[in-house]
Structure 1
Amino acid sequence: MTHDIHHIPLDQIDANALPRDRTALDPTALADLELSIAAHGLRMPVEVCRARDNVGPPYALISGFRRLTAHRNLGLTEISAFLRTPADATAAMASMIEENEIRADITPWERAKICLTAIDAGLFDTLDQAIPRLFPTYDRNRTARLRATTEVVQHFGDHALTDPRGLSQRQLTRLATNLRGGMGDTMLIALQESSDTSPAIQWSLLTAIMDDAEAEAKAPRLQYKKGRPRHHVRVQDDLTVRRERTKDGWTLRFTGKTACGPLMEDIMDYVEDTFGHRQR
């Protein structure tokens, strides 16, 4: 492995040759980096290796995605780089992750995402293979948290949550616990049928569901019918009912095209007839 600095044209570097752990760039931080490079030049060269095929650019980026992006945004034509010789693509990915763990604020979601991306790319067959290769310094507890987060990433995918990278490790671990408890479908339905997709509202919806499930698990054994409790039920294709625990009791949420005022009146009539006396 050489430490000589090379000056490589930007169009000769493939920034996407490797699956990357950084899936989004903070605009403010990127702008600050661009100002620094414009004023003082690049303080730390990027890392590249020679591409393993002759189809695209001759160099593959290992680390320095933000620095490379900043150079391109500034209209520069070349960048200082260390030329590395990793044993294979997995070793190159491990180097990228190691450098980003030190230099960048990689979120728990992004760590889990890169494991799954590497598996999808065929670099590993299983998560058990991917984690120790990509995160060799992780102890048992950090590995368990990463594994739990991958379950959340797999379940919710790329579109259900507005800002999954903003979720803390504690939040992700709680989500994973509730997924294992069978609450995954209920949480997805709550997100899909909410018109407010702001991160705060989405988390409040998920929290209400998890509060219910966790309280149910801690409560004395209640006398439910077989197959209960149900946290949601799809009554029709366009009508879903979901129960939700609140500070003062319970709420039944009705969502879908047929969730209208007359239906609510019919439901209230039924409740009065069944559990009380209807006002005529």
Structure 2
Amino acid sequence: MARRKRLSPMPDLPDAEDPMTQRYPQGVAPTATRRPPVAEVAADAATRAALDRLSGEIAAARESGRMVVSVPLAAVEAGHLMRDRLHHDAEEMAALKASLAARGQQTPVEVVDLGGGRYGLISGARRLAALSDLHAETGESRFAEIQCLIRSPEGAAGAYLAMVEENEIRADLSFYERGRLVAEAARMGLFEDPAAAARGLFANAPAARRSKILTFAGLHETLGAVLRFPAAIPERLGLALAAALKSDPGLAGRLAEALRKSPPADAAAERRTLERALKKAAPARAETAREVAPGIRLAAKKGRIVLSGGAVDDGLAEAIAGFLARR
């Protein structure tokens, strides 16, 4: 017969109402994991300081234009500056739109914070236009914002300089577009005169290049109101046209009348009009007087020589006659 196993009496359960039981419900004191209050305060202060430093660094990066931010298209004012480029090439714009649609915006534009959630475009007009077209065509939200670097150029002249530098690096401008920008910057009072504007905006260009830009600035001032396709004027034609306008004061009026009377349909037609006017002005240009001796100016064309100046008198005439007689 198996022996019965004697059961030990059950231990007394702790009294739930006992304060010691409430403090140590497992019967033992809990392991101390909480840091002393002083350590907690020090840790909190260090965390806040680190967050403040990070917040300051982010704000500084944003203000100095080192951080790319996303801005709604509608918040960017494309006309904040007078653009140096007169038009966008259709093929280049189509290629840019295809790239943006396939890969997204890879290069941020530059803007200046105008306050009130508005931003003025400094550079990147083609990217802004391409994204605006894509958003209008597709309605996709990914085209509703543009990636920007927020710049703080020193005054309007600095903003224009930033725009010029960006375009000089990325896409070549025509001489007329450069000259137009110089003339308009001087007209708006950003620079003392066109020469100062050329030096300020194209400081890194060679002196000969700045001289050509100034010549086209004069062309813009004279004919800018009547030219329809000025950016297409070749360098040589523009320089020759500027010289003709300088030597023949009446040429500007005749050209303006011709362009108003028969508005050219395209750049090629306008160029032909300019070239015809230049050929007609050629005799007047050849007759321009130049100083050949102190007080004596000479103008010549086929079949005619004209001498003028304070030193031209009867004695000079007799000397010339004698010289010719001895030839």
Query: What is the TM-score normalised by the length of structure 1?
Result: 0.71
CA distance in 2, matches of 1:195, 1:72: 31
Residue segments in structure 2 that go unaligned for 5+ positions in a row = 1-63, 136-142, 287-299, 307-327
Tell me the residue number matched to 2:246: 180
What are the Cα deviations for residues 227-262 of structure 1, in whole angstroms up to 9, with x where unaligned? xxxxxxxxxxxxxxxxxxxxxxxxxxxxxxxxxxxx
CA distance in 2, matches of 1:21, 1:106: 8
Tell me the residue number matched to 1:129: 196
Size of the aligned set, in residue pairs, is 220
Shift of residue 37 of structure 1? Answer: 0.3
Residue segments in structure 1 that go unaligned for 5+ positions in a row = 225-280
Change (3 A) 1:202 1:81: closer
Tell me the residue number matched to 1:104: 171
Shift of residue 124 of structure 1? Answer: 2.4
Is contact 1:48-1:63 (8 Å) kept? yes
Change (3 A) 1:199 1:38: closer
Tell me the residue number matched to 2:260: 192
Residue range with higher mean Cα deviation, 89-98 or 136-145: 136-145
Q: Identity of aligned pairs, percent?
A: 30
Shift of residue 88 of structure 1? Answer: 1.5
Change (3 A) 1:178 1:70: same
Is contact 2:233-2:271 (8 Å) kept? no
Higher helix share: 2
Is contact 2:183-2:218 (8 Å) kept? no
Is contact 1:5-1:45 (8 Å) kept? yes
Q: How does 1:79-118 map to 2 (within 5 A)?
A: 79-118=146-185
Is contact 1:190-1:206 (8 Å) kept? no
Tell me the residue number matched to 2:73: 10
Match of 1:39 among 65, 87, 102: 102
Query: What is the TM-score normalised by the length of structure 2?
Result: 0.62
Match of 1:65 among 115, 125, 141: 125
Shift of residue 38 of structure 1? Answer: 0.6
Q: Tell me the secondary structure at the aligned position of residue 212 of structure 2.
A: helix
What are the Cα deviations for residues 3-22 of structure 1, in whole angstroms up to 9, with x where unaligned? 21111111221111112101
CA distance in 2, matches of 1:47, 1:110: 20
Relative CO higher for 1 or 2, CA cutoff 8 Å, sep ≥ 6? 1
Which runs of at least 4 in structure 1 moved beyond 4 Å after TM superposition?
A: 195-198
Q: Tell me the secondary structure at the aligned position of residue 61 of structure 1.
A: strand
Is contact 2:153-2:159 (8 Å) kept? yes
CA distance in 2, matches of 1:122, 1:42: 35
- What RMSD over aligned residues (CA atoms) do the two structures have, in Å? 2.2
Shift of residue 104 of structure 1? Answer: 1.6
Match of 2:85 among 1, 22, 29: 22
